[in-house]
C-alpha cells in the first residue's frame, strides 16, 4: 500500500524487501513494528543521526545501502511501506521453510569454531 506522490526506486524496493525478510526470519516482527510505529514522528531526526554516524558505520556495511536507508528515512511513507512489508511477510511466514536454514547456519558456526 504505497502512498500517493511517493514511489520507491527498484533498488530501494529490493532493500526494503531484504530488511523486512530479515526481520521476519529472525522473528522480530512485533518488536520491529513497535519500534517503527514509535519512531515514526522522528524519522527525519533519525536520518540526520545516520548522517552523523556515517563515518563509523562505513566500516561495517555498504555505503550505497546505508545512503538509501538514510534517504528513505527522510520520507515517512517509506517507514509505513516497511511496516506493511513486514506484516505481509509475517502473514506468509512458514517456519518449516526457515528452520532448516537456521539449523544449517548454526552448524556452519559450530564448524567454524572447531577450526
User: Which residue in 10, 17, 69, 14 sits closest to 43, CA to CA?
Assistant: 69
* Predicted TM-score (pTM) above 0.75: no
For residue 86, what is its C-alpha cell? 513486514
Over the chain (115 residues), the average pLDDT of each successive run of 10 is 68 92 93 92 86 88 89 88 94 67 53 48
Q: How far is CA 16 from CA 32, 38, 105, in A?
A: 13, 19, 23
Q: How far is CA 9 from CA 15, 74, 102, in A?
A: 10, 15, 31
pLDDT, position 107: 60
Cβ atoms of 24 and 86 closer than 8 Å: yes
Amino acid at each position: 500500500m504505497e502512498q500517493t506522490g511517493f514511489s520507491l526506486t527498484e533498488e530501494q524496493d529490493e532493500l526494503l524487501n531484504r530488511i523486512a525478510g530479515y526481520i521476519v526470519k529472525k522473528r522480530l516482527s512485533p518488536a520491529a513494528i513497535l519500534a517503527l510505529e514509535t519512531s515514526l514522528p522522528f524519522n527525519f531526526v533519525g536520518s540526520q543521526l545516520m548522517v552523523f554516524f556515517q563515518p563509523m558505520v562505513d566500516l561495517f556495511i555498504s555505503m550505497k545501502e546505508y545512503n538509501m536507508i538514510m534517504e528513505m528515512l527522510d520520507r515517512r511513507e517509506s517507514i509505513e511501506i516497511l511496516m506493511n512489508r513486514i506484516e505481509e511477510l509475517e502473514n506468509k511466514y512458514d517456519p518449516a521453510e526457515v528452520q532448516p536454514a537456521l539449523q544449517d547456519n548454526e552448524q556452519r558456526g559450530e564448524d567454524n569454531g572447531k577450526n
